């Protein structure tokens, strides 16, 4: 989906179309009927942008940008608070519209999916292009005017790359014999999985484009980046991706976090931080209940005023589900973080809790039954050993 959060706001605020819009303000900045929309110039405090529409991006705004910096670049841009319940509603609507035409869908998040069109088109590209146009139109109808960009190719890696070639509202096609012509000239960072650190190492090797990456010997890449990652980079640069569209995937983790408008001192504002921690634990427990999951591991994330982050986690023998259980585990994690009374680690700007190693209640019951069986057998064996003792 194109600039999903920002365009979701345009659906219910059509008057903002054509104006620069950023998402990430405080909930109190939500405009009331008949009032003017708040702007970045009015914002005070901490925080980062969740996203920005294309008009705002043209002014230099982007996701994860500190809001105060964005205010200096585009003070008159509209700033709206994130409304994730609304975004989830639109996400369900666009995915439902897609599945009605092409059911083989891999969900990759709130605003992105992979679709296997082979069954509907028999692998014919012209038929796939026509179906892609119908999918785009269906998404726009289902969401009240939102647009999406589609990349059509023989695998997920290339489709991901070419979906960005004609944003917004684009449809890009890369046939197998067009990979070198269309993909090789692009920067290596266009390959999903080649991050900033890898790009810096490649740049030091004189590798900036995908074509230059493709020209590197695979053994050299493996020597510089490791056997597995080096081979993956080599294959990706040649358009090789063996992954299939996965129709269902279990959530690996669930997290909740908040960025403070002003830095919080870990000692002097301990009561305030406790309230925030309790709120996050409550929300996370609700997420676990809604997704019908239990957690074996709970972790916390703290970002200090200097933007450096620390994470700590605990894994217990018991599964965690309730707010009190999450809170107790989170407090245990916080005890592992070396806070200070003064200096860089005395104030924090972000606090988060994450639940991982998730299992279903049925899996938890089976594990407990198996453990009880092992314990009972152990007791029985001990009894027999005692009976056989001379």
pLDDT bracket for residue 27 (50, 70, 90) = low
CB-count exposure of residue 179 (10 Å: 0-12, 13-18, 19+): buried
d(CA 211, CA 156): 19
Question: Phi and psi dihedrals of 308, rounded to 5?
Answer: -80, 140
Residue 24 banded pLDDT, cuts 50, 70, 90: confident
pTM check: above 0.75 = no
| Structural tokens at position 357 | 């190693």
- Looking at the predicted structure, is the pLDDT value of residue 273 above 60? yes
Q: How far apart are CA 238 and CA 48, in angstroms?
A: 37
pLDDT at 4: 92
How many whole angstroms separate alpha carbon 336 and alpha carbon 328?
13
Q: Catalytic residue positions?
A: 112
Q: What is the pLDDT of residues 341-366, one digit of tens each?
A: 888 889 998 999 999 999 888 888 87
**pLDDT, tens digit (0-9, with 9 covering 90-100), for 180-201:** 999 999 999 999 989 888 999 9
State residue 81's pLDDT score.
86
Tens digits of per-residue pLDDT, 100-112? 999 999 988 889 9
Buried b (16+ CB within 10 A) or exposed e, 355-382: bbbbbeeeebeeeeeeeeeeeeeeeeee
CA dist 302 and 151 (Å) reads 37
Tell me the H-state helices in the chain.
Answer: 4-12, 54-57, 67-73, 84-101, 118-121, 125-142, 156-162, 179-182, 196-204, 210-214, 218-225, 227-237, 270-291, 323-334, 361-388
Q: What does the alpha-carbon distance between residue 385 and residue 377 come to, in Å, rounded to a whole number?
A: 12
pLDDT of amino acid 354: 96
Distances (CA, A) of 238 to 96, 123, 183, 191, 310: 34, 21, 9, 11, 37
Give pLDDT, residue 326. 96
pLDDT digits (tens, 9 = 90+) for 38-94: 899 888 777 788 889 999 999 999 888 888 899 999 999 999 988 888 998 999 999
Q: Does pLDDT of 31 surpass 80? A: no
Q: Indicate the DSSP class of residue 269.
A: T
CB 97 within 8 A of CB 139: yes
pLDDT tens for each residue of 295-329: 999 999 999 988 888 999 999 778 898 999 999 99
What tokens does 308 get? Answer: 């450096």
Query: What whole-number percentage of the chain has pLDDT above 70?
Result: 91
Strand partners, 105: 115
Average pLDDT, the chain: 89
48 three-state secondary structure: strand
Q: Which domains does the chain have, with CATH numbers?
A: 4-82 (3.40.1170.60), 253-359 (3.30.1490.100)
387: pLDDT strictly greater than 60: no
Mean pLDDT of 105-133: 93
Strand order in the sheet with 309-320: 253-265, 347-359, 294-304, 309-320
Angle at 172 between CA 166 and CA 113, to 5 degrees: 95
Q: Residue 251: its pLDDT value, please?
A: 72
8 A C-beta contact, residue 94 and residue 139: yes
Query: Is it the case that residue 249 has pLDDT exceeding 80?
Result: no
Which pLDDT does position 370 carry in this prediction? Answer: 66
């Amino acid at each position: 989906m194109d600039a999903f959060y920002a365009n979701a706001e345009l659906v219910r605020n059509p008057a903002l179309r054509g104006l620069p819009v950023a998402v990430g303000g405080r909930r109190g900045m939500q405009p009331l009927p008949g009032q003017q929309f708040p702007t970045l110039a009015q914002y005070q405090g901490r925080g980062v942008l969740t996203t920005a529409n294309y008009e705002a991006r043209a002014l230099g705004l982007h996701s994860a940008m500190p809001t105060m910096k964005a205010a200096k670049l585009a003070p008159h841009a509209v700033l709206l608070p994130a409304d994730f319940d609304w975004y989830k509603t639109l996400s369900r609507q666009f995915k439902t519209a897609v599945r009605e035409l092409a059911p083989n869908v891999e969900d990759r998040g709130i605003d992105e999916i992979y679709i296997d069109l082979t069954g509907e088109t028999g692998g014919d590209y012209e038929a796939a292009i026509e179906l892609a146009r119908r999918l785009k139109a269906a998404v726009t109808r289902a969401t009240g005017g939102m647009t999406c960009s589609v990349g059509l190719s023989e695998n997920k890696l290339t489709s991901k790359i070419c979906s960005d070639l004609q944003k917004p509202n684009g449809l890009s096609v890369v046939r197998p014999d067009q990979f070198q012509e269309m993909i090789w000239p692009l920067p290596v960072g266009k390959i999903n999985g080649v991050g900033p650190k890898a790009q810096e190492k490649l740049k030091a090797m004189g590798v900036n484009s995908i074509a230059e990456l493709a020209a590197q010997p695979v053994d050299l890449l493996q020597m510089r980046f490791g056997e597995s990652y080096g081979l993956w980079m080599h294959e990706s640069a040649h358009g090789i991706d063996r992954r299939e569209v996965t129709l269902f995937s279990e959530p690996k983790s669930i997290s909740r976090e908040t960025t403070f408008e002003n830095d919080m001192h870990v000692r002097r504002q301990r009561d305030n931080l406790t309230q925030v921690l309790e709120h996050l634990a409550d929300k996370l427990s609700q997420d676990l209940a809604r997704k019908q999951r239990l957690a074996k591991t709970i972790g916390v994330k703290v970002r200090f005023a200097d933007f450096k982050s620390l994470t700590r986690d605990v894994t217990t023998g018991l599964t965690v589900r309730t707010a009190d259980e999450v809170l107790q585990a989170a407090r245990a994690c916080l005890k592992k973080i070396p806070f200070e009374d003064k200096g860089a680690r005395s104030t924090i700007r972000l606090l988060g809790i994450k639940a991982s190693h998730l299992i279903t209640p049925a899996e938890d019951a089976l594990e407990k039954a198996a453990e009880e069986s092992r314990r009972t057998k152990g007791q029985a064996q001990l009894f027999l050993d005692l009976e056989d003792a001379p």
